Amino acid sequence: MEYKKQRMRELIATLSEASKAYYQENREIISNYEYDKLYDELVALEKETGVVLSQSPTVSVGYEALDELPKERHETPMLSLDKTKNVEDLKEFLGGQKALMSWKLDGLTIVLTYQGGELVKAVTRGNGEVGEVITPNARMFTNIPVRIAYQEELILRGEAVISYSDFEKINQEIEDVDAKYKNPRNLCSGSVRQLNNEITARRRVRFYAFSLVKADHVEFQNSREKQFEWLQSQGFEVVEHHMVTRETVEEQVAYFAEKIKTYDLPSDGLVLLYDDIAYGESLGRTAKFPRDSYAFKWADEIRETHLLQIEWSPSRTGLINPVAIFEPVELEGTTVSRASVHNLSIMKGLKLGIGDVIRVYKANMIIPQIEENLTQSGNVEIPAVCPVCGGKTRVNDANGIETLVCTNPDCQAKKIKSFTLFVSRDAMNIDGLSEATLEKFIAKGYIRELADIFRLKDYQEEIRQMEGFGEKSCENLLLSIEKARNTTLPRLLYSLGIPGIGVANAKMLCKAFQYDLNRMRTAEAEEYTQVDGIGEVLAGAIVEYFHDETKKKELSDLMSELTLEKTELPQERPVFDGMNFVVTGSVTRFKNRNELKAYIEERGGKVTGSVTSKTDYLINNDTTSGSSKNKKAKELNVPILSEEDFLKLADRGTDKIGEENERRKISAEGEN
């Protein structure tokens, strides 16, 4: 009995971690096949022992919603559906009843509420009990009615999805192979839960209704089909559905199975819902599932192949993950040759060995996974050293799940963030080097220090052979790297990742040291503290960086690969020298606020986030608004300028502006 309880604890830990990754982080750490197998084992053990442990996924649904968006509790819990891959189970479920068979769309479930004909609220499924409020984003869905004829309260549920064709268009605009989105579901989830609904609008999210929760005083003749028809009359698109009976269900499954080959919306199965509303509601629900509906999941296309090797892939967290490399096979229309094994426990459970005959499939027809190992030789050796840095490895065991980690704190794989900053847009601006791509190159030993990025051409043949790369993407990457060789000192300084040095500070320091890198490398802290905004702590961090022997060598190596653009030093004092600006509201004369900020900084000014006594000007095209920044500016006698006024100010010259500022400050002191 105790052994069985211990096994249940292990299963709950594994399943809970997998649910967290899937629902909260939009990633998969074990396959659907493996999840279902472990879940069924847990259900069997709970039935056998009569014990259901705390946190068991058999009595909890989904995972906790994130904190970035407001949370709200659903009026009616949103349960998962019991599921099968066997058509005979559907026949048994139907009995003598009629039911609607529809697509089980693979996106993000949303609850919409309308009052007085207006969309007033949209909430994600979340954990089934509590979801996230995404109302502004829902209004950006391409096919959602924001106003309907029905004036009473309407609550309905549906799936937000992004079509495969729109998904491909979005990915085509992304040059970096590893920055491309993995599948429509992940892209949709991220799009729906954006804090900026402008991004949602660009992603072409669509909504398909699949359940009516509340619509009082409407006659539906006790039929779910009539509910669907009524929702369509109100302007909603509903999931494609067909009425079935026990006699016709197999034929309809075959119809959907054929159609999914060319269907443009992501689907991971079908749903059966009793047409008789009263009958379905009378059945109630279990702790986890409603009894009026049933899900049918597609059987996976499975191929046999041979395991060629296990590739060990280090990550920024220190984990070294096993990846199975096998003889290429065709799955769901594409050729695959590798699949993540996730961790040592899964690898050991599969008893993987080189040369083994394995069965592989694509989870949800997207992610390659190993279903089972037919040979089970178990001859894979666990590496004693990290493949990137050569440091010692260690096997960690947490809740019965074994992982391999690198123990070297200075492992290059753990410093991925510094490389990511180096290639970012405001730094060296190298397209095609996403964090994931950098991780791969570091893992293969192509990159050990920053200068190595400019030597990637030495590995161009190997890069062309890497999964996801080809002639064109490799060529684009190398062209982007060559272009980045010619850069500016502010970009270089920011790219080094010196603690406390952002884009603005980098520009300011370069001006203060007259764009002389050698002078900056040899300066002492006292010289840095003379620069406006640089205190003792920040000055100490800069000096420490430039005096560190390892950093000095890395910077020297890097400079041998770069050419710094010469900057003409201004002969006169910049027009906004020493002035502080705050920018708020929308802009019309500049592309965006960042462009306006750059304009100010190029002329010696500084842009801050809040209005204080040190602020010289607030720029806001709505000069008469009652915004908090406007109010604060008026309290402190800080002039509020429109863009037109600001540009006129820029034309007046340094001395003229300085005189005006001095008079204004004297006047303000007199009033006080």
Tell me the H-state helices in 371-468. 416-423, 435-443, 460-465
Which long-range contacts does 187-190 make (Cβ < 8 Å, 24+ apart)?
Answer: 187/162, 188/107, 188/108, 188/160, 188/161, 188/162, 189/26, 189/107, 189/108, 190/26
Residue at token pair 């047409």: 275
* Nearest of 299, 296, 305, 298 to residue 372 by alpha carbon: 305
HSE (side-chain half, CA atoms, 13 Å) at 82 = 16
Contacts of 275 (CB under 8 A, 6+ apart): 97, 98, 99, 100, 223, 224, 225, 243
Provide the β-strand partners of residue 101: 242, 272
Is 601 annotated as contributing to ligand binding? no
Q: Is the dihedral of CA 566, 572, 577, 581 positive or negative?
A: negative
Is 517 annotated as contributing to ligand binding? no
Alpha-carbon distance 651 to 648, whole Å? 5
Alpha-carbon distance 320 to 29, whole Å? 14
Cα-trace Rg, the chain: 30
- Residue from 47, 85, 91, 104 carrying the catalytic annotation: 104
Is 125 annotated as contributing to ligand binding? yes
47 is catalytic: no
Alpha-carbon distance 407 to 319, whole Å? 10
Residue at token pair 């850069």: 487
Is 297 annotated as contributing to ligand binding? yes
Helix (H) or strand (E) holding 619: strand 617-619
What are the b/e assignments for 437-461, b being 16+ CB within 10 Å? bbbbbbbbebbebbbbbbebeebee
Tally Cβ neighbours within 10 Å of residue 73. Answer: 10
Burial (Cβ within 10 Å: 0-12, 13-18, ≥19) of residue 414: buried
Is 406 annotated as contributing to ligand binding? no
Secondary structure (3-state) at 507: helix
User: Which structure tokens are listed for 443?
Assistant: 């893992």
Is 80 annotated as contributing to ligand binding? yes
Binding residues for NAD(+): 80-81, 125, 159, 297
Which residues belong to the active site?
104
Binding residues: 80-81, 125, 159, 297, 386, 389, 411
Binding residues for Zn(2+): 386, 389, 411
